[in-house]
């Protein structure tokens, strides 16, 4: 058996540094990552990276920061298993490996000039934040912007500070709901779908972008369709088990589609007839 060092391997990682860690909730931590030499990741909103801890493994993680943020990028990771537990043990200054960005992100060029409705539930805010902040940083390129946010309890809300900023902006319509409220909560209580009827929009020039746990897509899409938004203007980001990020390992396959190459962002018309998608 001969062994050869492989230049240009798709599995090569970029040795990167964690420059900031913040604990968001019991399960979620925020990480800010600097690539070697301060290079920028050069990603589209909605793309993801494969994060490595050598000796533990790799996991696909969405980029949470907007490409307009230079010099570093951000991500939020929920502790669910082997890799994510190990990542949670790391501190500022520790190194991780990065591959990517991978996948098809949100079609920013197409969204320009249109109205946007963001629907984010739970962890869905994490990838969506890359687009929301991009839009806010380039606010004048877009039409009306609405953000609908859902989380389990007020304590579960991620990026509270940023969300507070959004609520204050006049050029963003913001509404929020929680599954379970505490006595201090003044806002809506209930499913995120309950927010949709209240949004006024012009369907033919509106793009809706949805990210959240698998179970919610069907219901949210149904509401949006009721609002006459065309199928191809409804965008979702799907999560699947993923190993290689290169469209080979087979784990992320949704019928004939590969989530890592054809997605994770899909327009509804593309996946409507794909039984395993939603």
Partner 1 sequence: MTRTKPKVAFFDFACCEGCQLQVANMGELLLDVLGLIEVVEFREVMSEKGPEKIDVAVVEGSITDKHAIERIKKIRDRAKVLIAYGSCATIGGVNGMKNNFKLDDIRKEVYGDRFNYFDTVETKAVHQVVKVDYFVNGCPVYIPEFVKVLKAALQGIPYEVPDHAVCVECKLNENVCMYDRGVACMGPVTRAGCNSWCINNGNICYGCRGMVSNPNENGAMDIIKKYNIPMDMVINKMNMYNKCREIDKREQKKR
Partner 2 sequence: MLYNLSQYVVLKKEDFNGFISDLVKEQKVVAPVAKGCGQFSFEEVKSGSEISIDYIPTILPPKKYFMPRDENIATYDLSNGEDMEPVVEYEKMLLFGVHTCDLAGIQCLNMVFSERPRDLNYLIRKNQITIIGYECNFYCDRFASCRLVHNHSPNGGYDLFFTDVGDRFMIHVNTNTGEELVAKSNLLRKAGEKDFEDLQRVREAKNREFAKNEIPIEHEKIPELFDRAYNSKVWEDLDKRCVACGNCTNVCPSCYCFNMIDEPNLDLKTGRRYRQWDSCQNESFAKVAGGESFRKERGARQRHRYYRKFKYPIAKFSRFFCTGCGRCSRTCMACINLKETLNSLIKEQGMENPEAGKV
* One residue of 23, 85, 153, 155 binding partner 1 per CB under 8 A: 85
Q: In whole angstroms, give the CA distance from residue 197 to residue 123.
A: 23
Please report where in the chains the tokens 């006459």 appear, as a residue: 228
Strand ranges, E, within 212-261? 234-237, 253-254, 257-258
Please report where in the chains the tokens 């520790």 appear, as a residue: 94
* One residue of 61, 96, 116, 158 binding partner 2 per CB under 8 A: 96
Q: By C-beta, is 16 or 64 nearer to partner 2? A: 16
Cα angle 45, 49, 53 (rounded to 5 degrees) comes to 150
Give which of partner 2, partner 1, ligand FAD, none residue 247 binds (C-beta under 5 to 8 Å, depending on kind). partner 2
244 is in an annotated binding site: yes
Q: CB under 6 A: which stretch of 70-78, 149-157, 175-183, 265-273 binds ligand FAD?
A: 70-78
Smallest CA-to-CA distance from 12 within 95, 97, 111 is with 97
Contacts for 265 with CB less than 8 Å, ≥ 6 apart: 46, 103, 104, 105, 106, 107, 235, 236, 237
Q: 226 by DSSP, 3-state: which?
A: helix
Name the helix (H) or strand (E) containing 262: helix 259-262
Cα angle 61, 30, 63 (rounded to 5 degrees) comes to 35
Residue 241 engages partner 1 in binding (rule: CB under 8 A): no
- Tokens read off for 232: 């191809």
What is the per-residue binding string for partner 2 in 222-241, x denoting contact by CB under 8 A?
-----------------xxx
Residue 84 engages partner 2 in binding (rule: CB under 8 A): yes
| Minimal distance, residue 57 CB to partner 1, in Å | 9
176 is in an annotated binding site: no
Residue 136 engages ligand FAD in binding (rule: CB under 6 A): no
Q: By C-beta, is 91 or 109 nearer to partner 1? A: 91
Q: By C-beta, is 21 or 246 nearer to partner 1? A: 21
Size, binding site for ligand FAD by CB under 6 A: 21
| Sheet containing 115-121, strands listed edge to edge, beginning at the edge strand earlier in sequence | 188-189, 173-178, 145-151, 115-121, 206-211, 234-237, 265-267
Smallest CA-to-CA distance from 132 within 68, 218, 224 is with 68
Q: By C-beta, is 69 or 142 nearer to ligand FAD? A: 69
Residue 24 engages partner 1 in binding (rule: CB under 8 A): no
Q: What residue ranges bind partner 2 (CB under 8 A)?
A: 1-6, 8-13, 15-16, 52-58, 78, 80-81, 84, 95-97, 213-214, 239-241, 243-244, 246-251, 253-256, 275-276
Binding residues for [2Fe-2S] cluster: 244, 249, 252, 260
Known binding residues are 76-78, 244, 249, 252, 260
Q: Give the footprint of partner 1 on this chain (CB under 8 A).
A: 55-56, 81-83, 85-86, 89
């Amino acid at each position: 058996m001969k062994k050869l060092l492989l230049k240009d391997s798709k599995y090569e990682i970029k040795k990167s540094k964690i420059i900031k860690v913040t604990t968001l909730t019991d399960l979620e931590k925020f990480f800010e990552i600097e690539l070697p030499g301060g290079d920028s990741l050069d990603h589209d909103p909605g793309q993801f990276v494969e994060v490595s801890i050598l000796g533990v493994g790799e996991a696909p993680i969405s980029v949470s920061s907007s490409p307009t943020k230079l010099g570093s990028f951000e991500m939020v990771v929920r502790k669910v298993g082997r890799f994510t537990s190990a990542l949670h043990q790391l501190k500022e200054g520790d190194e991780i490996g990065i591959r990517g960005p991978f996948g098809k992100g949100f079609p920013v060029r197409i969204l320009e000039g249109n109205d946007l409705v963001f629907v984010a539930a739970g962890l869905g805010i994490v990838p969506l934040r890359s687009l929301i902040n991009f839009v806010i940083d380039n606010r004048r390129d877009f039409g009306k912007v609405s953000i609908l946010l859902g989380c389990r309890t007020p304590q579960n809300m991620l990026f509270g500070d940023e969300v507070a900023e959004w609520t204050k902006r006049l050029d963003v319509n913001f509404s929020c709901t929680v599954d379970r409220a505490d006595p201090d909560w003044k806002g809506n209580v209930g499913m995120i779908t309950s927010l949709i009827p209240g949004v006024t929009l012009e369907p033919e020039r509106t793009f809706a972008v949805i990210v959240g746990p698998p179970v919610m897509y069907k219901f949210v899409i149904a509401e949006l369709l009721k609002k006459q938004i065309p199928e191809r203007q409804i965008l979702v980001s799907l999560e699947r088990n993923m190993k290689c990020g290169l469209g080979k390992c087979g784990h992320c396959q949704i019928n004939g589609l590969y989530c890592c190459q054809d997605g994770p962002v899909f327009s509804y018309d593309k996946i409507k007839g794909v039984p395993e998608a939603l």
